[in-house]
């Protein structure tokens, strides 16, 4: 389902919220990289470099795949990591021809004080790099305050130096215009809809704690602490009680310490860790009933990703070169994913379970010249080509004597496992017989069995 989100042919442009500085690069490298990983940072820096061009340029995502040497899946995962951490906003536009284009707006990172004061970011960084590196990093960005007992501020104000003058014309020329300036870092996009504030406040009222006691702490901070330490609204009521000072007030600093202590006492002494929970949407619609074998095969090829298909056939993780080849075929020939799946299976049938780039590109060019645009047409053409191939083997390599060994037949897995119970995945039995499965495969495809002697 990745191709519903992003395809190599989709174009993009990059926009900077404001020109970034060396300080921003330090923040991204030292603070954000441990949380989102090096691939997400590489994508950010690549987009940043591209955006510094004086004239905006438009590229396809195939350009990013070549620059970063990443497959599309990893580029997409890096992109959503940047979005989640607050370094990127993504905008999508679809024209009347269903062509998609994206605008990537790079956002500035938080500064060091804001990062350390954010309970989510600071805690996750601590759990990622450990206590000693965390203390060293904090010390590196500490700013020594000016000793006001030794120094007196004698700086002049604006009115001490300048006198007002008429500026009506200048105001008219700039009225209503938006100018590029330093953008305040928005931080991580965090939504509070999962926290039950009504239950939280009602419990505090029952304990005679006025709502004004929380005037120094934002609702966002309460929700973040609840999310970080997996605390319920009832737990957060106890945290507030612990965090109260002698004036019945709760500050953000005291709330953070109280939540951390409550977590250690009731959950775990190990700091909470950052874990990705995002998953691409999957097509969970059941296969329609009463389909013929041909229709089942077409449905299967159209509704499975190439990665999952290869994983089912080989019973192991697909090679990255095969995934990159699939993306190239989609980009070059604009094949639907189902056609690429049919092409890969046909290649494996013909090439002793191996996918070779040269062979795949020759078959793909032939199919493109035949205007193959859907799975059904691809299967029909594959069967015709396979029949020709088997006939050529029989007629062109027929042995003259009976002493010559028969030509070895290709051993292939079944293309599509026919299941009696369609709600269960096909399983490979322990006594898997390659030749028996091959005969089933040939029957599924409507290919006549030909003996080659």
Q: With helix as H, strand as E and coil as C, how does 410-421 read?
A: CCCCCCCCCCCC
pLDDT of residue 97: 77
Residue 423: Cβ within 10 Å count: 7
Burial of 26 (0-12, 13-18, 19+ CB in 10 A): middle
Structure tokens at 200: 């939280």
Domain map of the chain by residue range? Answer: 7-109, 197-267, 293-395
**211 contacts 204 by C-beta, under 8 angstroms:** yes
Cα separation, 345 vs 353, in Å, equals: 9
- Determine the pLDDT at residue 253: 85
Taking the CA of residue 50 as centre, how many other CA atoms within 13 Å lie in the half-sphere pointing to its CB?
A: 23
Q: Half-sphere exposure of residue 26, counting CA atoms within 13 Å on the CB side?
A: 9
Cα 352–Cα 301–Cα 299 angle in degrees, nearest 5: 140
For domain 7-109, the CATH class is: mainly alpha
| The dihedral sign for the CA sequence 337, 339, 340, 342 | positive
At 20, is the secondary structure helix, strand, or coil? coil
- What does the chain come to in residues? 453
Mark out the alpha helices in 334-446 (DSSP H runs).
Answer: 337-350, 357-369, 375-396, 434-445
Helix (H) or strand (E) holding 15: strand 11-16
Sequence-ordered alpha helix ranges (H) in 229-336:
233-243, 252-266, 293-302, 306-314, 320-333
pLDDT of residue 447: 46
Q: Name beta bridge partners: 88.
A: 106
pLDDT, position 32:
94
Q: What is the DSSP string of 199-253?
A: HHHHHHHHTT--GGGGTTS-HHHHHHHHHHTT--HHHHHHHHHHH--TTS---HH
Helix (H) or strand (E) holding 93: strand 88-94
Helix (H, G, I), strand (E, B) or coil at 59: strand
Closest CA to 137 of 110, 115, 118: 115
Split the chain (453 residues) into runs of 10 and give each run's mean pLDDT. 79 88 92 93 94 82 89 90 92 86 94 89 89 90 77 79 63 55 63 74 72 80 81 84 80 85 79 64 60 80 80 80 78 78 84 81 85 84 76 60 45 41 43 52 50 38
Q: Helix 61-68 vs helix 320-333: angle between axes, to the nearest 10 degrees?
A: 150
**pLDDT given for residue 281 in this prediction:** 53
CA atoms of 77 and 317, how far apart (whole Å)? 18
pLDDT recorded at residue 427:
44
Among 88, 8, 10, CA closest to 46: 88
């Amino acid at each position: 389902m990745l191709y519903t989100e992003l395809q190599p042919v989709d174009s993009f442009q990059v926009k900077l919220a404001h020109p970034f500085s060396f300080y921003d690069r330090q923040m991204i490298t030292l603070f954000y990289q441990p949380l989102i990983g090096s691939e997400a940072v590489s994508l950010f820096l690549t987009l940043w470099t591209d955006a510094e061009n004086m004239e905006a340029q438009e590229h396809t995502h195939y350009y990013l795949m070549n620059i970063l040497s990443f497959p599309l899946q990893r580029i997409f995962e890096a992109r959503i990591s940047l979005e989640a951490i607050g370094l990127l906003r993504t905008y999508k536009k679809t024209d009347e021809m269903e062509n998609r284009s994206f605008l990537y707006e790079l956002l500035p990172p938080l500064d060091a004080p804001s990062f350390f004061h954010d309970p989510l970011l600071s805690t996750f960084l601590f759990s990622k790099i450990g206590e000693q590196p965390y203390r060293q990093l904090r010390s590196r960005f500490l700013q020594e305050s000016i000793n006001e007992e030794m120094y007196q501020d004698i700086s002049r104000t604006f009115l001490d130096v300048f006198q007002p003058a008429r500026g009506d014309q200048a105001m008219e020329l700039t009225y209503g215009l938006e100018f590029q300036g330093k953008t305040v870092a928005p931080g991580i996009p965090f939504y509070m809809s999962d926290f039950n504030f009504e239950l939280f406040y009602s419990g505090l009222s029952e304990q005679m704690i006025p709502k004004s006691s929380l005037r120094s702490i934002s609702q966002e901070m309460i929700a973040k602490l609840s999310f970080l330490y997996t605390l319920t609204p009832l737990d957060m009521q106890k945290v507030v009680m612990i965090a109260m000072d002698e004036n019945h007030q709760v500050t953000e600093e005291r709330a953070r310490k109280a939540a951390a202590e409550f977590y250690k006492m009731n959950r775990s002494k190990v700091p909470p860790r950052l874990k990705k929970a995002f998953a691409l949407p999957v097509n969970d619609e059941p296969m329609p009933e009463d389909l013929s074998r041909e229709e089942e095969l077409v449905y299967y090829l159209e509704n499975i990703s190439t990665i999952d298909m290869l994983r089912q056939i080989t019973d192991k993780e697909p090679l990255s070169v095969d995934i990159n080849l699939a993306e190239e075929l989609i980009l070059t020939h604009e094949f639907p994913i189902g056609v690429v799946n049919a092409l890969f299976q046909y290649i494996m049938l013909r090439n002793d379970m191996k996918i070779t780039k040269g062979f795949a590109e020759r078959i793909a060019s032939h199919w493109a010249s035949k205007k193959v645009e859907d799975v059904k047409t691809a299967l029909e053409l594959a069967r015709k080509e396979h029949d020709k191939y088997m006939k050529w083997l029989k007629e062109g390599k027929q042995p003259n004597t009976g002493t010559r060994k028969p030509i070895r037949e290709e051993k292939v897995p079944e293309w599509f496992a026919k299941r009696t119970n369609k709600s269960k995945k096909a399983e490979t039995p322990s006594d898997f017989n390659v030749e028996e499965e091959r005969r089933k495969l040939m029957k599924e495809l409507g290919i006549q069995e030909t003996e080659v002697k």
